[in-house]
Amino acid sequence: MEAPIRAAQFLGFTVFFLLFCVCRSSPLHNLLISNAERRIDLTSHIVKVYLTLKVENAGSTPTSEILLAFPPTQVDHLATVEVLVTKGKRKKTTLVRLDVKPTELPDAPNGTKYFTIYLANPLNSGESMTLEVLYLFTHSLEPFPAEIGQSESQLVYYRDSALILSPYHIKQQATFVKTPSTKVESFTRVEPTNRAGTEMKYGPYEDRPPYSFSPILIHFENNSPFPVVEELVREVEISHWGNLQVTEQYTLVHGGARHKGVFSRVEYQSRPTLSGTSSLRYLLARLPPRVHSVYYRDEIGNISSSHLRTDSRKSELEIEPRYPLFGGWKTTFVIGYGLPLQDFLFESSDDRRYLNFTFGCPLLETVVDKLTVKVVLPEGSKDPSAVVAFPVEQHLETKYSYLDVVGRTVVVMEKKNLVPSHNSHFQVHYTFKPIFMLAEPLMLASAFFLFFVACVAYLHIDLSIRK
Q: Please, which residue, 38 or 254, has the CB nearer to other proteins?
A: 254
Amino acid symbol at 329:
W
Q: Considering the complex, what minimum distance in angstroms separates the CB of residue 230 from other proteins?
A: 11
In 3D, which of 324, 228, 226 has the Cα closest to residue 275? 324
Taking the CB of residue 413, how many other CB atoms lie within 10 A of it?
19
Residue 154: DSSP 8-state: P
Strands 330-340 vs 243-254: parallel, antiparallel or unpaired: antiparallel
Radius of gyration of the chain (CA): 28
Min dist CB 122 to other proteins, Å, is 55
- Kindly tell me which of 213 and 337 has the beta carbon lying closer to other proteins: 337
Least Cβ distance, residue 329 to other proteins (angstroms): 5
Q: What residues contact 360, with CB distance under 8 A and at least 6 apart? A: 368, 371, 418, 419, 420, 421, 422, 423, 424
Q: Which of 463, 230, 239, 462 has its CA nearest to residue 366?
A: 230
Torsion of CA 190, 108, 390, 423, to 10 degrees: -20
By C-alpha distance, which of 286, 289, 246, 255 is closest to 368? 255
The residue among 222, 179, 183, 169 whose CA lies nearest residue 201 is 179
Strand 31-41 to 169-178 pairing? parallel
Minimum gap (Å) between residue 404 Cβ and other proteins:
5
Instruction: Confirm if 53 and 174 have CB atoms less than 8 A apart.
Output: no
Distances in Å between the alpha carbon of 148 and those of 222, 257, 260?
Answer: 13, 6, 5
Q: How far is the CB of 179 from other proteins (least distance, A)?
A: 30
What's the half-sphere exposure (Cβ side, CA atoms, 13 Å) at 421? Answer: 14
**Shortest Cβ 308–other proteins spacing (Å):** 16
Task: Give the distance, in angstroms, between the CA of residue 101 and the centroid of all CA atoms in the same chain.
Answer: 17
Sign of CA dihedral 16, 17, 21, 27: positive
- Cβ atoms of 334 and 298 within 8 Å: the answer is yes
Nearer to other proteins, 258 or 286 (CB): 258
**Strand 393-399 relative to strand 382-387, pairing:** unpaired
Nearer to other proteins, 4 or 261 (CB): 261
273/304 with CB nearer other proteins: 304
Our CB check for other proteins shows the closer of 282 and 400 to be: 400
The least CB distance from residue 398 to other proteins, in Å, is: 11
| Minimum CB–partner distance for residue 399 and other proteins (Å) | 9
In whole angstroms, the minimum distance from the beta carbon of 204 to other proteins comes to 48
* Shortest Cβ 446–other proteins spacing (Å): 15
Q: Which is nearer to other proteins, 323 or 452 (CB)?
A: 323
Judged by beta carbon, residue 304 or residue 349, the one nearer other proteins is: 304
Looking at beta carbons only, is 89 or 466 nearer to other proteins?
Answer: 466
* Rounded Cα distance, 21 and 212, in Å: 9
CB of 270 to other proteins, least distance (A): 7
CA distances from 277 to 132, 142, 363 (A): 35, 18, 20
Residue whose CB is less far from other proteins, 271 or 382: 271
Q: Residue 145 belongs to what H/E stretch?
A: none
Nearer to other proteins, 160 or 235 (CB): 235
> Min. distance of Cβ 304 from other proteins in angstroms?
4
Q: Which is nearer to other proteins, 57 or 275 (CB)?
A: 275
Beta strands 215-221 and 155-161: pairing type?
antiparallel
Question: Which residue ranges make up the site for other proteins (CB under 8 A)?
Answer: 261-266, 269-270, 298, 300-305, 322-323, 328-332, 400-405, 462, 464, 466-467
DSSP 133-200: EEEEESS-EEESSSEE-TTSPPEEEEEEESSPP-SSEEEEEEEEEE-SSS-EEEE---SSEEEETTEE
Closest to 239 measured CA to CA, from 33, 7, 83, 440: 440
